[in-house]
Amino acid sequence: MGYRPVSYLVGSILLLAALAAAVPSFAAPASSLAAAVRPAIRDQFREQAGIPGTEVFVGEVRLSEPSGLRAPVEVVRVTADGAIRSGRGIPLSVYVRDAGGETREVRGSADVSIQAPVVVTARSMPAGAIISRQDVAVRMREYTAGSEGALHATEEALGKRARWQLTGGVQIRREYLEDPMAVRRGDSVTIVVESGPVRITGKGITLHAAGIGDTVLVRNVSSGREMSGRLSEDRVVRID
């Protein structure tokens, strides 16, 4: 095997250097792009959750190879397929802008854990109990696809009534509670009938328990006639 002339080697080196100089930038590797995407995922998921105090932890990020992108690359936005939730392999669309100003979509997935504050029972409560501050506490729990309807601040539960028995440490959902009954059977109320400028009032007796905004059946004390209306504040029943 013969040796190539020095002039040939020098020429080859100069040619490679010229080719390298002709490339304005390099393709952004998926690994560096994934690192840039992590904080964008965290911020986007926290914003979409819309729950104060939510914490988002982003694990492994897997992106399709971003061919043709020229560094540096800026992450424009991140969107999740469907409702946000905790889980492995959450499908994502990442929109990035490269050094040339071109915006591209890069498909991928990420392992995400969303921890949100939720209201839980601090102790067991019987059905019908009125929730006080000592009955509830706030704990960080995993935010999943079934987290809709959960309470996230104790103020949302205070003064409500438990619809059924609740054991200690249970996450409280909206359907577990109801407004307390404003009137019970046999309570005195004011009946109001309005028609244009005419307003007639009278005394009535409730025939069953009801909460504010409920339709309640009442008996007019004067006439003995039964009628239904909507219960409002100050024990006023407005006849429909």
**Residue 233 is part of a domain; what is its CATH number?**
2.30.30.760
Instruction: Establish if 5 belongs to a structural domain.
Output: no
Instruction: Establish if 194 belongs to a structural domain.
Output: yes
What's the chain's average pLDDT?
A: 84
Residue 139 confidence (pLDDT) above 60: yes
Instruction: Establish if 171 belongs to a structural domain.
Output: yes
The model's pTM is 0.61
Q: Is residue 20 very low, low, confident or very high in pLDDT (cuts 50, 70, 90)? A: very low
Burial (CB count <10 Å: 0-12, 13-18, 19+), residue 187: middle
Going by their DSSP bridges, the two strands 236-239 and 188-195 should be labelled as parallel
Does residue 126 share a domain with residue 72?
A: no
Residue 81 confidence (pLDDT) above 90: no
Q: Read out DSSP for the chain?
A: -PPPPHHHHHHHHHHHHHHHHH--S-BPPHHHHHHHHHHHHHHHHHHHH--TT-EEEEEEEEE---TT-BSS-EEEEEEESSS---EEEEEEEEEEE-TTS-EEEEEEEEEEEEEEEEEEESS-B-TTPBP-GGGEEEEEEE--TT-TTB--SGGGTTT-EESS-B-TTPBPBGGGEEPPPSB-TT-EEEEEEEETTEEEEEEEEESS-B-TT-EEEEEETTT--EEEEEEEGGGEEEE-
Instruction: Establish if 111 belongs to a structural domain.
Output: yes
Residue given tokens 């005195």 in the structure block = 188
What residues make up the domain containing 170?
Answer: 116-178
What the block records as the tokens of 196 is 């244009």
Q: What is the pLDDT of residues 157-184, one digit of tens each?
A: 999 989 899 999 999 999 999 888 888 8
How many separate domains does the chain show? 3
State which of 125, 158, 178 marks the end of a domain: 178
State which of 99, 115, 131 marks the end of a domain: 115
State which of 115, 134, 150 marks the end of a domain: 115
Does residue 134 share a domain with residue 110?
A: no
Which is it for the CA torsion 216, 221, 222, 226, positive or negative? Answer: positive
Does residue 39 share a domain with residue 108?
A: yes
Does residue 143 share a domain with residue 106?
A: no
Instruction: Establish if 204 belongs to a structural domain.
Output: yes
Report how far residue 205's alpha carbon sits from residue 203's, in angstroms, rounded to the nearest whole number. Answer: 7
Does residue 142 share a domain with residue 93?
A: no
Does residue 63 share a domain with residue 130?
A: no
Instruction: Check residue 13 and give its pLDDT.
Output: 47
Instruction: Establish if 3 belongs to a structural domain.
Output: no
Does residue 222 share a domain with residue 197?
A: yes
Report how far residue 136's alpha carbon sits from residue 150's, in angstroms, rounded to the nearest whole number. Answer: 13
Does residue 140 share a domain with residue 94?
A: no
Give yes or no for a contact between 157 and 172, defined as CB atoms under 8 angstroms apart: yes
Does residue 151 share a domain with residue 161?
A: yes
Instruction: Establish if 164 belongs to a structural domain.
Output: yes
Does residue 83 share a domain with residue 46?
A: yes
Specify the range with the lowest mean pLDDT, choosing from 9-18, 79-88, 130-139, 191-200. 9-18
Does residue 235 share a domain with residue 174?
A: no
Residue 129 confidence (pLDDT) above 80: yes
- Mean pLDDT of the 98-104 span: 86
Residue 19 confidence (pLDDT) above 70: no
In 3D space, the residue among 182, 192, 177 whose CA is nearest the CA of residue 214 turns out to be 182
Instruction: Establish if 1 belongs to a structural domain.
Output: no
Please state the φ and ψ torsions of residue 18, each to the nearest 5 degrees.
Answer: -65, -40
Does residue 92 share a domain with residue 157?
A: no
